[in-house]
Amino acid sequence: MRNQIILISLLFLLLGSCTSKKDIYYFQDIDKLLSETNIAKSSENIQVNDELLILVTSLDLEATKPFNLLRLTGDSRSETMTYLVDSKGNIDMPTLGQIHVEGKTRIEVRDLLEAELKRYIKDVIVNVRILNFRVTILGDVKTPGTYPVESEKINIFQALGLAGDLNVSAMRKNIVLIRDNGTHKEYQKIDLTSSDLINATYYHLQQNDIIYIPPNAAKIKSASINPIYSFALSTLSSVIGLITLAATIAK
């Protein structure tokens, strides 16, 4: 009987060694940060370290060549290079020199460049795209990762769609959004079950946003018993059954 008690105690000890959300959750102190910041409306303005694809076209193709940066690839083909926004918010263009673009929208930069280039090129047309627009989705989704965004605007649900949507085991009322606005970071908790989200200032994302989806309590509990524990529990159960059977026969 004493051995039975010992084995049963071991069984409950193994069952009690559960993983808690403190062992799994990211950003556990996010509430402390939420009291200090309030996430602003997403901005389409160009930021430091953005990569801008700038294409200059005109009937005079020779005149546009200096502004369309090209480089040779390994197979001797050429590809268009991007303009990097430096730490001062500038890009460096041939002939034009330093152009300040930080804080401007893509359309504003296009209009600025067309006005500057008209002094050198007749009937010039400029196209500007932000190439490093990407969002990161972490946590309990089908395919977490960092995803490039082809369009100029993406909302939270479209971003989650890129990651294959939430798993059934994911929480939906405690999503975390982290946004880097250059000089500071902003934090926001999101309730995906609320229709108010559609009108929220953070409904549309901006480049480099991070979304974290924590797992629910049921998934955490299921992850707490690893294969070794499962084998040990199965073995202990069998041993207890045999001891009980032997004790019954002995009587």
- pLDDT digit string, tens, across residues 100-133: 999 898 999 999 999 999 999 999 999 998 888 8
| Spatial contact of 201 and 39, defined as CB atoms under 8 Å apart | yes
Range of the domain at 231: 2-15+225-250
Same domain, 215 and 139: yes
Last residue of a domain, one of 66, 100, 130: 130
Same domain, 72 and 98: yes
Last residue of a domain, one of 99, 115, 130: 130
Same domain, 64 and 186: no
The per-residue pLDDT for range 33-55, each reduced to its tens digit, is 554 455 666 677 888 889 999 99
DSSP codes of every residue in 62-91: HHHGGGS-EEE-TTS-EEEPPEEP-TTSEE
Tell me the CATH number at 116.
Answer: 3.30.1950.10
Tokens at residue 217, please? 């309590």
Same domain, 96 and 137: no
24 or 183, which is more confident? 183
Tell me how many domains the chain contains.
3
Same domain, 145 and 216: yes
Same domain, 205 and 103: no
25 or 112, which is more confident? 112
- Compute the chain's Rg from CA coordinates: 29
pTM for the whole structure: 0.65
Residue 151 has a pLDDT of: 79
Cβ contacts of residue 193 below 8 Å, gap of 6+?
172, 173
**Which residue reads 């946004």 in tokens?**
179
Same domain, 230 and 115: no
- How far apart CA 50 and CA 141 sit, in angstroms, is 28
